[in-house]
Structure 1
Amino acid sequence: MDPSTLIPPADAIPAAPWLFRALLDTTFTVHLLFMNAMLGLTLLGFVRSLRPARALGQQATMVPTATALAVNIGVAPLLFLQVLYGQFLYVSSTLMAVYWFALVLAVMAAYGLAYRQKYALHKNDRRGTLLWGIMSALFLYASLTQTTNAILLVRPDLWSGYLGDPGGTLTAWGDPTFTPRWLHYVTAAVALGGLCLAMIGHGRAKRHDPSGEALKAEGLSWFGWATLIQALDGVWWLVSLPRPLMLAFMGGDHAASMLLMAGLAGTGLAVAFAFKGRLMPAAAAAVFTVAVMTAMRGVLRQLYLTPFFDPSGLPVVSEPSTTAMFLGFFAVSIAVVAWAARHPKTDPKGA
C-alpha cells in the first residue's frame, strides 16, 4: 500500500509557515525544560528516597510546580504542531487513541500524587518511596506514549497497521529508533533533575546551610553522568535512523550537520562545567543544548516526511488581525507564566 494515499489533505494556515515553525521550536524548548525537570525530579526522588539520609521536602515541592508548567506550556507547541502537521498528528493520535487518552489520566494521577507527596513530606518527613515509585511509573508511561506518537507521526507507512488493529492501540515499538529515542529523553530528564537538585543546593549554600554544597555536588554529579549517558543514547539513535537520514546529519544536509555539531559542543561544555562544579555555566550549556536538540528534532521530522509533505508548501490565507491578536495574547501568557515561576509559594523547610 502506498503510504501517501493514507495522508489527509492539508488545511490552509493564517500566516507564513516559518513563523509557526519558530514558535513551535521556541515553545517546545521551554516545555522540554519543565517536562524534564518534572520527570527527572520524580525519578531522582524515588532513588533518593531509598537512602534514609536524604531529605526530600523541597524537591517534592518542585514537582507539582514543574508539572503544572510543563502541561500548560505544552499546549502551545501542540497547537503549533497541529497547524503545520495536523494531518499527521491527528491520524497518529487516533491510531493510538487508547494510550493517548490514558496519558492524560496518568499525568493527572501523578499530579495529584505529587501534591500528596509534597504535603506528606512537609508534615512528618516520611520517605514516601511508594508514592515516588508510582509517580515515576506514571510519568514514564507518559514518556513512552509521547515517543510512540512522535514516531507514528513521521511514519505513515505504519498506519496500515490499523487494518489489523482498529481498536486504537497501534504502537511503534518495532521501530528501530524507539528504544534509543525514549532513553535519550529519559536520561535528559535525569540530567535536568540533577541540575534542579544542584540549584536547590546552591540556594541553600547561599543561605549558609551547611548541607547546601553537598546537595549541589550531588546534583551536578547526576547531571554530568546522565548527560554523558544521554550522549551515548544519542549516538545509538543516530545510527538507528534510516541510512539517508543518518547521512543527512553526517554531512549530507548542511543544516542538520551544523545542528549536530552544535549539540555535541553544547553537551561537551555542559559535562565539563558539571564535573568542574560550575553550576551556572553548566545550566546555560544545558539550556543551549536543549534548544539545539529541539531544532534537530524539527529537522529530523521534516527529513522523515520529505517524501510526503513539505510545510513550506502549505496554502496561506493571510489573516493579519487574527495573527496579531494571537501573538499579543501569547506574549501576555508567557509574561504571566514567567511571573508565576519567579514567585512560587514554597515552604522554606525541607530539602
Structure 2
Amino acid sequence: MDIGAVMNTMRDPAGVPAHPVVFQVLMVITWVAHIAFVHLALGSAGLAIFAFHRRGADKATGAYWERLSMAMTKVAKVSVSLLIVLGVAPLLFTQVIYDPQWYTSNVLSGRWAIAFIFTLIVAYCCWFAFYHANHEGAKKHVGFYAWVAFGLFCLDGLIMHALSYQALLPEQWMNWYAPGGMVDTRGAALHAIQWPRYVFIMGLAVPAVGVFLLAYAHYFAGREDREPAYRAFVGALGKRIAQWGYGLALVPMLAWQFDFPAGSGLVLHPVGWFIVGALATMALWMRQLGDDTHGYLPAVCGFGLLGVLAVWREVIRIHYLRPLGYTVQTYTVHADWPSTVLFFATLLGIGGLVGGFYLTLLYRAGRVRGVYQADRTVSRLGTGAVSVLGVWIAVFFVYGIAISMHDSFNLN
C-alpha cells in the first residue's frame, strides 16, 4: 500500500482558499502564543503548590511564600483559560493542511482524545477549588485539589503529545488499527510517545515561570503594596528557577536530538542545535543576570526561543512526511481572495487594535493600586477599538448578505 497516495487521497477535496504556506506560517505563529501559556500555566501551578507547602517552613520568608502561592494560583487559573482559547487557532490551521494525519491519529486514540476534554474540565474545576481555598491561613488539605489538577494537566499534555507524534508515523497506522490482522476500533491506546520530546516541551514550564517572576517583580515596582523586600525575594527566586530550568532542559533536548531515526537528517540539523545553544546561553545569562537588568528582556528572549521551537516542530514534521510523498505545497488551492482579505483585516484590525487596547488597558491598570484613570492614549485606543469593531460587524453582515443574495439569484 502506498501510504503517501492514501494520505493525499484523504485530503479535503475542497482544497484551501490560499497558498498552503500561509496556513503553515500561521500555524507556527499561533502555536507560540498557545504553548507560552501552557508553560506559564504548568510553571505557575507547580510553583503555587510548592509555595503553598513551603509557607510554614521558614518564619522569615513564610509570608512571602504565602503571598506568592496565592499570586501564582491566580496566574495559573488565567493561563489555563488563555491556553485553551489560544490553542484553537493552531489546531484549526493543523486541520487545514495536515487533516489526514491529525484526524487519523485522533481516531486511532479516540478514547484518549475524548478523555482529554473531560480531564481538562475536571482539572480546571479542581484548580478553581484550590484557588477559592488558597488564602491566608488556609488548611494544608486543600492542596489535594491542586495536586489532582496538576497531575491531570500533565496527563492532558501527554495526550496532545501522543496525538501529535502519532500523526508523524503514518507507516505504523495499519499496525495500530489492525494489530496481528485483527481490527481494533476501540481507540483505547496511546500508540506512540516520544518521552524526550514530551519531557523537554513540558519541562520548559520551569524556566518559563522563572522569567515570569522577573517580569512580575519589575512590573509591580511602582506599586506601594508590593514592597521592595518582597519584589527582591521574587526576583531572586525567578533568577534561580530560570537558571536551573534552562540548564536542566538541555538534558531532554539532547536526548530528543539523538532520538530521531537514522538517515532522517534531523540529528545534525542546525535548528535543533541552535535550540541547544540557546538553552545553554540562557542558563549562563540567568546566572550572570544583575538586579539592574530589565525584567521583561528575559521573557522576550523566552518568546524568541519558543518561536525557534515552533519552527523546529514544523521542520521535523516535514522531514517525517516528505519521504512518504506528503507535502503541504501540493495541497489543492481554490483561491478565495475576499475571504482571505477579510481574515487578515480581522486579524490586524480586531486582533491588533482591539486586542492592543485591552492589553494596554490591563497593563497600565494593574500597575496602579485602586482606581485607574485612563490617559488620552488609552482613551483614543478605546475609541478606535469600538469603531473598528463596528466597521467589522457591518462588513461581516453586508458581505454575508451579498453572498446569500448572489447565490439566490444564481439558483433562480
| TM-score (norm: length of structure 2) | 0.76
Residue 245 of structure 2 corresponds to 226
Residue 57 (str. 1) matches residue 70 (str. 2): yes
Say whether the 8 Å CA contact 2:254–2:276 is kept in structure 1: no
Residue 320 (str. 1) matches residue 332 (str. 2): no
State the Cα distance separating 1:286 from its structure 2 match.
1.1
CA distance, structure 2, for counterparts of residue 131 and residue 276 of structure 1: 37
CA separation of 1:27 and 1:196: change in aligned 2, threshold 3 A: same
Say whether the 8 Å CA contact 1:20–1:83 is kept in structure 2: yes
CA distance, structure 1, for counterparts of residue 82 and residue 236 of structure 2: 26
Residue 216 of structure 2 corresponds to 200
Residue 256 of structure 2 corresponds to 237
Residue 27 of structure 1 corresponds to 30
CA distance, structure 2, for counterparts of residue 318 and residue 91 of structure 1: 27
CA distance, structure 1, for counterparts of residue 51 and residue 318 of structure 2: 40
State the Cα distance separating 1:332 from its structure 2 match.
4.4
Mind listing any 5+ residue stretches in structure 1 that lack a counterpart?
251-255
Say whether the 8 Å CA contact 1:267–1:285 is kept in structure 2: no
Residue 286 of structure 2 corresponds to 274
Mind listing any 5+ residue stretches in structure 2 that lack a counterpart?
56-61, 371-412
Q: 1:296 aligns with which of 296, 312, 317?
A: 312
Residue 94 of structure 2 corresponds to 81
State the Cα distance separating 1:3 from its structure 2 match.
3.9
CA distance, structure 1, for counterparts of residue 229 and residue 136 of structure 2: 23
CA separation of 1:200 and 1:116: change in aligned 2, threshold 3 A: farther
Residue 157 (str. 1) matches residue 174 (str. 2): no
CA distance, structure 1, for counterparts of residue 239 and residue 131 of structure 2: 23
CA distance, structure 2, for counterparts of residue 191 and residue 348 of structure 1: 29
Q: Which moved more, 1:7-16 or 1:118-127?
A: 118-127
CA separation of 1:40 and 1:340: change in aligned 2, threshold 3 A: farther
CA deviation profile, 1:95-133 (whole Å, cap 9, x unmatched): 111111111122222222333322322475455421221
CA distance, structure 2, for counterparts of residue 154 and residue 339 of structure 1: 40
The Cα RMSD (Å) is 2.5
Residue 253 of structure 1 corresponds to none
Q: 2:49 aligns with which of 46, 50, 54?
A: 46
CA deviation profile, 1:25-78 (whole Å, cap 9, x unmatched): 111011111111011111222223221232111111111211111110110011
Residue 170 of structure 1 corresponds to 189
The code of the aligned residue for 2:190 comes to: T
CA separation of 1:87 and 1:267: change in aligned 2, threshold 3 A: same
Q: Which moved more, 1:125-134 or 1:314-323?
A: 125-134
State the Cα distance separating 1:195 from its structure 2 match.
2.2
Q: 2:149 aligns with which of 132, 135, 140?
A: 135
The code of the aligned residue for 1:9 comes to: M
The code of the aligned residue for 1:230 comes to: A
CA distance, structure 1, for counterparts of residue 246 and residue 70 of structure 2: 25
CA distance, structure 1, for counterparts of residue 146 and residue 304 of structure 2: 30
| TM-score (norm: length of structure 1) | 0.88
CA distance, structure 2, for counterparts of residue 166 and residue 4 of structure 1: 23
The code of the aligned residue for 1:15 comes to: A
CA distance, structure 1, for counterparts of residue 347 and residue 267 of structure 2: 33
Say whether the 8 Å CA contact 1:42–1:63 is kept in structure 2: yes
Q: Rg bigger for which structure?
A: 2
The code of the aligned residue for 1:94 comes to: V
The code of the aligned residue for 1:101 comes to: I
Q: Which moved more, 1:28-37 or 1:104-113?
A: 104-113
Say whether the 8 Å CA contact 1:269–1:282 is kept in structure 2: no
CA distance, structure 1, for counterparts of residue 285 and residue 296 of structure 2: 9
CA distance, structure 1, for counterparts of residue 369 and residue 111 of structure 2: 41
Percent identity of the aligned residues? 20
Q: Which moved more, 1:280-289 or 1:4-13?
A: 4-13
Higher RCO (C-alpha under 8 Å, 6+ residues apart): 1
